[in-house]
Amino acid sequence: MTPIRIAILIDMPLGYLFSVTIVAFCTATAVIGPRPAHTTQNFWGFWATFLINELPFLALYVLAGNTAIAFAQGDLVNPVGLTTLAIALVTTGGLVVLVRRALATEAALRRSLHEFGIDLPPQRRPWAHILLAPFLKRRRNVVRVGNLAYGDAGRRNLLDVYHHRNRPTGGPVLVFFHGGGFRIGHKRKEGRALLYALAARGWVCVSANYPLSRPFPEAHVDAKRVIAWVRARYEGEIIVSGSSAGAHLASMTALTPNDPAFQPGFESADTSVSGVVGFYGYYGPVDGPGSSPLDHLRDAPPFLFLHGDLDSSTLVEDTREFVARLREVSTQPVVYAELPGAQHTYDLYYSLRYSQIIEAVAAFGTNLDTRGTTRRRKAWDPPEV
């Protein structure tokens, strides 16, 4: 390589070019929204977009910061620097598209909940939290009581309880199961912003581990154990929820109330629930006949489904089918909100989209309570440690 070529290469703003190219690629993929032919856990589009799709503002900060550094270093005077700047500007337009899609979440939620008789109140978005602290989920007025055992399977039978410091009574109880395709995952991953937010409003929230990579129906039996554990400590409504595989568990729990086949050794326990919230769920078979919620359709408690139309892990078409078939047999509301531009795992951060979803879930649970269809919960009892 000649000295002239070496000098040109050294003079090129390679760091600026690299960072902008990465952001541009992820943004373009998120805007286009490629999806596989069928539900899969390892589609490349998910890994390229799940972060930037929920945190486009952070990508804007990266572009702005790197562009400012490149300008200060005089890197925008050569062709490569100017070309990179042009890419950054186009990418900014793509990020604006992602923000607009996230803003459209409220309208989608409002339309869907209106069918259930809920008028979602106008939302005052916490912009400071969204823009400056999306990774912050904890609330000062919420206590998390961690690693309580609900079974004898070690760490896979542990749960966390979130409650307000004042321990108010009368609020709903949310039981949440994490995702991970029944192979990975943990109770302190997805949904934590939701758990803290609802607990701050007087709910009691429970997030549970369950067996992974085990034959069906072991995880589903332990999901029932969680419900029985909660029922033994609280009177009143229980709303069961989950993300991806956790939505499968939540749905199966709601569709098989008090079924002895899923309650070996605790057949007499009341495992019925008052409502279900499924986030980007997988609802297909796990291991043969009888392992899908579609195999247990019945008159069920109210369901709220929330699924992104660009989900590239669990396809939205599968959830549409579940919704349609459940509506055919259930007399209770089956609410379905299709979220514009949403990808899988949109509940990892306190994002613009997820902040609106939290409000919708709170309205759904409050509506169940005000309808008076369930028993009231007794005074809050501290979990047994």
Would you please indicate which residues are annotated as catalytic (active-site) residues? 244, 311, 344
Q: Dihedral sign, CA of 189, 50, 303, 372?
A: positive
Q: How far is Cα 113 from Cα 334, in angstroms, rounded to an integer?
A: 10
Q: How far is Cα 313 from Cα 35, in angstroms, rounded to an integer?
A: 8
CB 194 within 8 A of CB 361: yes
190 closest CA partner among 307, 279, 318, 310: 279
Tally the residues of the chain. 385
Q: Which residue carries 């070690």 as its tokens?
A: 154
Show the beta-strand stretches assigned E in the chain.
Answer: 142-149, 158-164, 173-177, 204-208, 238-243, 275-279, 303-308, 334-339
Structure tokens at 12: 């090129």
Residue 41 Ramachandran class (φ > 0 left, ψ -120 to 50 alpha, else beta): alpha
Q: How far is Cα 362 from Cα 109, in angstroms, rounded to an integer?
A: 12
Three-state secondary structure call for residue 277: strand
CB 157 within 8 A of CB 353: no
As beta bridge partners, residue 149 has 158
Q: How far is CA 187 from the centre of its chain?
A: 12
Q: DSSP letter at 258? A: T
> What is the b/e burial string over 309-336, where b = at least 16 CB atoms within 10 angstroms of the residue's CB?
bbbbbbbbebbeebbeebeeebebbbbb
